[in-house]
């Protein structure tokens, strides 16, 4: 037993014997106002919109304050454009990378990490340098260790005990290990056939879009591809299904083979037990509040300059002869306001953009019909003391339960993992459910109460942590009806054909010394579209780079 594990278990046992019974658990929803979003939907369905009571003007309007919208605002600022307004539905920006707190403990409300970006994502690298997260030392880039995920990073609750890593290895047979090795070889072979990059759209062929080898993978499900390869081991398939649900919100029976392989080939590869791993394998950046730390940094200058308009629902976007009109409902004043500008960056989910853009371009209407979205539930559980733990590996940042009985369950991250203070204390566990494979999940999110989702999460955690209910004091649930697009077969091939042309005008030298890259951007004469939906799946690198490119589009 490791020292950290022993001390944590001992402290939990001591506290369990001397503290009174906990008060009644509190359950609540937090983070996302579903009613506000549904009110927008209902208002659009009623017919003519209310007349605007106020007209405002700016050089650029950004519709949507997720990662893409915040990145677009940053690139405008770096291009010397400061007369813009960002309109965001919720009271805080960030999309599915928002942060929260339960009983004063910071925690993520959605995305909770960022892999150290490679050279295919220079815009993300520049952001991290701007935020002081990396610097060049003796000719090599170094990342601030305070923000890199501390060890141990991952563990799996498997066969009633914890093991290091997420790939089931303890007690598995030689046949399983052989299939692990075969899958590792298949990932390497796919990488040699055509490169996988992150972000993927930055490496598209200017004429064909997705490479032919990738188009073939995109034509079938990951499950069908595995079947063709003869990879049918139950442990391998559980792990790969978990990986798909973790990144894409749905399992290998729905996502494309391109997506299933991209998960590994675009980042760290796949390494079977016993295979050598490169010493310089990239790390993971994380914070107690997850990627909310990044979106808070991106939003801070906008708040300071008055460029951020929260609590504002975009109702209508129309291109006119002179520019763009954006009608928006201000939830604070209760009025409809009209914004006028020469151009607009539409950083909204595709299904929302298709509703609000008047006379939408064909590519937008087609994308809205083709894409599918996964609902998610994120449950934050405040604990008044460390949990008792089953035998095996020590507590880690990312903790996954093999065969989680809760539909879509992905395990939890511990908000206190990055603390430098070794003394045990209160913390928050963030439990994730990817509901893309659950029938009527969106309806369930809208109708079931917070206690329903909270109790289900607690029940899932009770196996590895039998005292979780005793230690829990408050449970907050964040619901995402359309958290992310699912990369189903055919989507990548379709999306890769959109916006292949380079942006018009000369390449700019930005204020931070960064050179603008020619990146494909879906656009019309006055509208540039930016959202991770246009990549077919939702990760920070895709959303940020698309937003950055749209901010520099000069239509």
User: Domain segments of the chain: what residues?
Assistant: 35-91+310-370+501-551, 178-272
Cβ neighbors of 75 (< 8 A, separation 6 or more) are: 510, 547, 548, 549, 550, 551, 552
Q: Could you tell me where the DSSP H helices lie in 197-271?
A: 212-218, 222-228, 234-248, 257-265
Q: How far is CA 436 from CA 166, 372, 433, 481, 553, in A?
A: 21, 9, 9, 10, 33
**pLDDT score, position 30:** 93
pLDDT for position 1 = 38
Tokens of 44: 């659009």
CA-wise closest residue to 497 among 243, 201, 55: 201
Could you count the other beta carbons within 10 Å of the beta carbon of residue 280? 7
pLDDT at 370: 97
Q: The pTM is what? A: 0.93
**Token representation of residue 82:** 């400061």
Task: Give the pLDDT confidence score for residue 505 in this predicted structure.
Answer: 58
Q: Is 137 exposed, middle or buried (0-12, 13-18, 19+ CB in 10 A)?
A: exposed
- CA distance to 5, 15, 417, per residue, from 422 (Å): 11, 16, 10
130 half-sphere exposure, CB direction, 13 A CA radius: 18
H-type helices in 391-481, by residue range? 441-447, 450-461, 468-471
Report yes or no: 57 and 83 within 8 Å, Cβ to Cβ: no
**Mind listing the pLDDT tens digit for each residue in 241-279?**
999 999 999 999 999 999 999 999 998 889 999 887 755
d(CA 135, CA 113): 20
Beta carbons of 373 and 484 less than 8 angstroms apart? yes
- CATH architecture for residues 35-91+310-370+501-551: 3-Layer(bba) Sandwich (3.50)
Residue 197 has a pLDDT of 94
Helices (H), 122-173: 122-130
> How many contiguous H segments (helices) and E segments (strands) does the chain have?
17, 23
Q: Compute the distance between CA of residue 270 and CA of residue 261 in angstroms, rounded to an integer.
A: 9
Torsion over CA: 172, 176, 182, 188 (sign): negative
Give the pLDDT of residue 11.
41
CB 329 within 8 A of CB 310: no
Give 10-residue mean pLDDT values along the chain (555 residues). 40 45 82 77 75 95 98 96 97 96 96 93 95 88 92 95 95 96 96 93 83 96 98 98 97 98 92 75 88 98 96 96 95 94 98 96 97 98 94 95 93 93 90 96 95 97 96 97 97 91 66 83 95 96 96 82
Task: Let me know the angle formed at the C-alpha of 62 by 30 and 435, rounded to the nearest 5 degrees.
Answer: 40
Q: Find the helix or strand (DSSP H, E) in which 368 lies.
A: helix 362-370
Measured CA to CA, the distance from residue 368 to residue 350 in angstroms comes to 6
Q: Which of 82, 85, 141 lies closest to 116 in space, CA to CA? A: 141
pLDDT of residue 268: 82
Q: Tell me, what's the pLDDT at 67?
A: 98
pLDDT at 137: 85
Q: Return the CATH number of the domain spanning residue range 178-272.
A: 1.10.405
Question: pLDDT at position 281, please?
Answer: 55
If you search the block for the tokens 């990488």, which residue do you land on? 191
Q: How far apart are CA 249 and CA 9, in angstroms?
A: 33
């Amino acid at each position: 037993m490791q020292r950290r594990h022993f001390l944590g278990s001992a402290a939990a046992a001591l506290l369990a014997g001397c503290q009174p019974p906990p008060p009644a658990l509190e359950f609540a929803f937090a983070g996302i106002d579903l009613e506000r979003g549904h009110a927008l939907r209902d208002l659009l369905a009623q017919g003519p919109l209310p007349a605007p009571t106020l007209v405002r003007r700016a050089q650029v309007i950004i519709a949507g304050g997720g990662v893409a919208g915040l990145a677009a605002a940053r690139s405008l600022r770096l291009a010397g454009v400061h007369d813009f307004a960002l309109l965001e539905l919720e009271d805080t920006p960030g999309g599915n990378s928002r942060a929260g707190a339960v009983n004063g403990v910071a925690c993520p409300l959605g995305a909770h990490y960022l892999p150290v970006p490679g050279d295919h994502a220079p815009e993300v690298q520049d952001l991290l340098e701007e935020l002081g997260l990396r610097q060049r030392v003796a000719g090599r880039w170094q990342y601030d260790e305070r923000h890199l995920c501390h060890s141990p990073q991952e563990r799996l609750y498997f066969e009633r005990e914890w093991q290091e890593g997420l790939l089931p290895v303890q007690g598995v047979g030689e046949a399983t290990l052989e299939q692990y090795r075969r899958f590792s070889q298949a990932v390497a072979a796919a990488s040699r056939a055509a490169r996988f990059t992150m972000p993927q759209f930055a490496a598209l062929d200017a004429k064909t879009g997705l490479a032919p080898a990738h188009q073939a993978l995109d034509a079938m499900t990951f499950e069908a591809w595995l079947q063709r390869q003869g990879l049918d081991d139950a442990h391998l398939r559980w792990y790969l299904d978990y990986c798909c649900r973790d990144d894409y919100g749905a399992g290998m029976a729905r996502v494309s083979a391109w997506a299933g392989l991209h998960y590994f080939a675009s980042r760290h590869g796949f390494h079977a037990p016993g295979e050598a791993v490169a010493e310089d394998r990239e790390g993971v950046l994380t914070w107690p509040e997850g990627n909310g730390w990044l979106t808070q940094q991106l939003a801070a200058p906008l708040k300071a300059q008055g460029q951020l308009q929260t609590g504002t629902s975009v109702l209508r976007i129309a291109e006119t002869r002179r520019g763009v009109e954006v009608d928006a409902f201000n939830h604070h004043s209760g009025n409809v306001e009209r914004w006028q500008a020469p151009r607009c960056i539409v950083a909204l989910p595709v299904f929302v953009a298709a509703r609000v853009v008047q006379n939408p371009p064909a590519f937008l209407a087609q994308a809205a019909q083709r894409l599918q979205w996964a609902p998610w539930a994120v449950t934050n559980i405040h604990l008044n003391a460390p949990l008792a733990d089953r035998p095996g590996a020590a507590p880690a940042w990312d903790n996954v339960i093999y065969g989680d009985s809760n539909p879509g369950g992905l395990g939890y991250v511990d908000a206190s993992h990055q603390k430098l203070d070794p003394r045990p204390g209160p913390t928050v566990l963030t439990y994730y459910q990817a509901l893309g494979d659950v029938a009527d999940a969106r309806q369930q999110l809208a109708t079931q109460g917070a206690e329903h989702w909270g109790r289900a999460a607690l029940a899932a955690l009770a196996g590895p942590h039998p005292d979780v209910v005793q230690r829990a004091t408050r449970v907050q649930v964040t619901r995402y009806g359309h958290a992310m697009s699912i990369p189903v077969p055919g989507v990548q091939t379709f999306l890769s054909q959109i916006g292949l042309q380079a942006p018009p005008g000369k390449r700019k030298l930005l204020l931070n010394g960064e050179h603008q890259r020619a990146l494909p951007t879906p656009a019309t004469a006055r509208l540039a579209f930016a959202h991770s939906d246009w990549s077919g799946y939702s990760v920070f690198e895709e959303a940020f780079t698309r937003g950055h490119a749209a901010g520099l589009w000069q239509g």
